[in-house]
Structure 1
Amino acid sequence: METAANPLNCRAHVLKFIEESCVVSESELQVNNITPYHVTKFYREQIIKSGYYDQLKYIVEPSIKEFESRGTLDTSGEHDNTVVPGLQHKYAQTGLLLVTERCGSYCRYCFRKRIVGRVSDEIAPDFHQAAQYIARHPEMTNVLLSGGDPFVLRTANLNKIVDHLLPINHLNSIRFGTKMLAYEPRRFEDSALPALFQRIHKAGKTPIIVTHFDHLGEISSDAEHKVRTLRAQGVQFLNQSVLLAKVNDDPEILAATFAKCHEIGVRPYYLFQARPVKGASHFQVALWRGLEIVRGINQRLSGIEKTFKYIMSHYTGKIEILDLGQDGRLYMRYHQNKVPEKIGKIFSRPHVAPACWLDDLPAQ
């Protein structure tokens, strides 16, 4: 995999940011949790030729704003929901297994900046131990392999992970969360991959790839071809996007992105509100503006294309953002919650114009 030169790894510390070059010390980078710059040659060339470089550069190129972005490094309480090293169990039916701290390229808005591109003890060291926990919890019907990106691992390594999951009868699907179809679609040319998915099928489970296309300009012809090939092999596809200031905060762009996903057989799944992550909160869009964008998306899509939910992945659960009422309150409901009785319940908070997150809204 080819990688561009690293502007955050310069001995003189004269570093190149989108806005300008400036002198930064190593300690400043560490204190501010600045992720190393890392992008595949494929993606760099794709965003240039897409005609959307001025928007898509913010996904992978460092910005000075990262030093000013306030927030925390674990916005969704992942530490608190870790049940054995590398395995999270926040929602009853789902296990989240962190299998690597590496990605094909590093997104500047990543909500796992504390892990990605670093040596981390949050990555599962023992998949047998994780599988033992899953086997003891029959309410868990699916496992999501994440990280990092599972497809930076060799297929042989993925097979070894799956070895521990296939014998668990109550699992009915295995998901792979990945942005490699945008960053390096050639990864999916691996001749060993079809056998991996066939093994999952033969064990009575559904292989699902959750793609991460944030913008129409990321869906290359290579990616489209790989998706169609894998679908013919029985792999299901979902897509999640993040609403990002300066990148895709435009209903026309997101509608075109979701329509293209639908066209190639990838079901739009979640549009995430960007999280208040330290070093990445400058990507957040105000909630009122997010609702305007969602309305604009839905006005541009046919009924069968409107399959996404506008979601805030909060510490307390996945919250669907519904509408801003005439009474000045923001209406929401829990799409997922640790407490089953709260799922589906509509609630509201007084709205304040700058709010980008639930915690920015008054409690009553």
Structure 2
Amino acid sequence: MNFIEGARIVTEDELQANDITHYHVTRFYREQISASGYYDQLKHIVEPSLAEFDSRGRLDTSGEHDNTVVPGLQHKYPQTGLLLVTDRCASYCRYCFRKRIVGKDSDEIAPDLARVAQYIGAHPEMTNVLLSGGDPFVLSTSKLDKIVDHLLPIPHLTSIRFGTKTVAFAPRRFEDPALTALFQRIQDAGKTAVIVAHFDHIGEISVDAERNIRSLRALGVQFLNQSVLLSRVNDDPDVLAATFAKCHEMGVRPYYLFQGRPVKGASHFQVSLRRGIEIARGINQRLSGIQKTFKYIMSHYTGKIEILDLGADGRVYMRYHQNKTPAKIGKIFSRPHVGGACWLDDLPEA
């Protein structure tokens, strides 16, 4: 197998024991990052590294298994359902937090959409569903239509989201004319179609991606962007500020900047909380008021935690952006900072 550090012979057993994802990248993305001027940074997103063998962590860092209510459907926060519709992606990110699923034949993918719809229908507090996986846009449009068939009749669903990096990996997928009809169906049912794109770096934003995003926006599809803060890739306020400014220019609202998770085989991508706070501050200093719409977020087992600041008192200040317990949402809390800490669990409860 070819690693960034050089070729190495590995057995299938070694790969599985260390949860090393197989290498797969689209030709389009390979050509895009090669021509971007940022190849030395962007190669780390898709090219395997020997660091993955020594990258410790867990496979489920945010309690997805514990919040699965029917096979394939997670209900961690009252208003949102997370529906896993595939275990495949157009290309495989080396920092993926769902290594336990992606690129494998997973039993966590929803096998019975009627049962999923029955659960959602019985929970009127759920106002939106996020289709994820894997990447829903590796599925055919006809398959997506069949999934949406089960969701559109549910009256209390007001939006259907699609989480995707295919807009970076294979943006021509969005030129499929059948997608126009799919998004129109969603709107005709009185619901909002939202694509949550995943640009981690301005070098990923291709001419094709921008053209297709603008076309879909003209049809009424809303776009958000989420990025992951990644060591050696985008841990630079100039790069991320440029990425978010470009997203804003295209009509894609910067949504989340995620702290890298302590995932087995991927924790070497983590940036320290101290550095992450410095970067988030630097991004905000470089953007206009209407461009800085992102939140610096840690998707922890206990909830989505917004990372606010490192105080002069040596404490990291945070607040719950989302939590299973509504009373905790918005509550600011702090923990003593520890040098090199990258995750909430690295900070002492004192």
- Pair in the same fold by TM > 0.5: yes
**What is aligned with 2:237?**
251
Matched ranges for 1:1-364 at <5 A? 15-364=1-350
Please report how far the alpha carbon of residue 24 of structure 1 lies from its aligned counterpart in structure 2 after TM superposition.
1.9
Measured in 2, the distance between the counterparts of 1:93 and 1:261 equals 26
Deviations 1:302-359 (Å, cap 9, x if unpaired)? Answer: 0000100000000000000000011110000000000000000000000001100000
Please report how far the alpha carbon of residue 275 of structure 1 lies from its aligned counterpart in structure 2 after TM superposition.
0.2
Identity of paired residues, percent? 79
TM-score by length of 1: 0.96
Measured in 2, the distance between the counterparts of 1:197 and 1:136 equals 25
For 1:340, give the aligned amino acid: P
Measured in 2, the distance between the counterparts of 1:357 and 1:75 equals 10
Measured in 2, the distance between the counterparts of 1:251 and 1:235 equals 29
Measured in 2, the distance between the counterparts of 1:166 and 1:17 equals 45
Measured in 2, the distance between the counterparts of 1:134 and 1:22 equals 47
Please report how far the alpha carbon of residue 23 of structure 1 lies from its aligned counterpart in structure 2 after TM superposition.
2.3
Please report how far the alpha carbon of residue 27 of structure 1 lies from its aligned counterpart in structure 2 after TM superposition.
1.5
Measured in 2, the distance between the counterparts of 1:58 and 1:317 equals 28
For 1:164, give the aligned amino acid: H
Please report how far the alpha carbon of residue 363 of structure 1 lies from its aligned counterpart in structure 2 after TM superposition.
1.1
After TM superposition, where is structure 1 displaced by more than 4 Å over at least 4 residues in a row? Answer: none
Measured in 1, the distance between the counterparts of 2:21 and 2:2 equals 14
Measured in 1, the distance between the counterparts of 2:209 and 2:339 equals 38
Please report how far the alpha carbon of residue 120 of structure 1 lies from its aligned counterpart in structure 2 after TM superposition.
0.5
SS at 2:107's partner residue? coil
- Gap runs ≥5 in structure 1: 1-14
Measured in 2, the distance between the counterparts of 1:23 and 1:65 equals 15
- Gap runs ≥5 in structure 2: none
For 1:288, give the aligned amino acid: R
TM-score by length of 2: 1.00
Measured in 2, the distance between the counterparts of 1:65 and 1:20 equals 12
Measured in 2, the distance between the counterparts of 1:37 and 1:354 equals 30
SS at 1:51's partner residue? coil
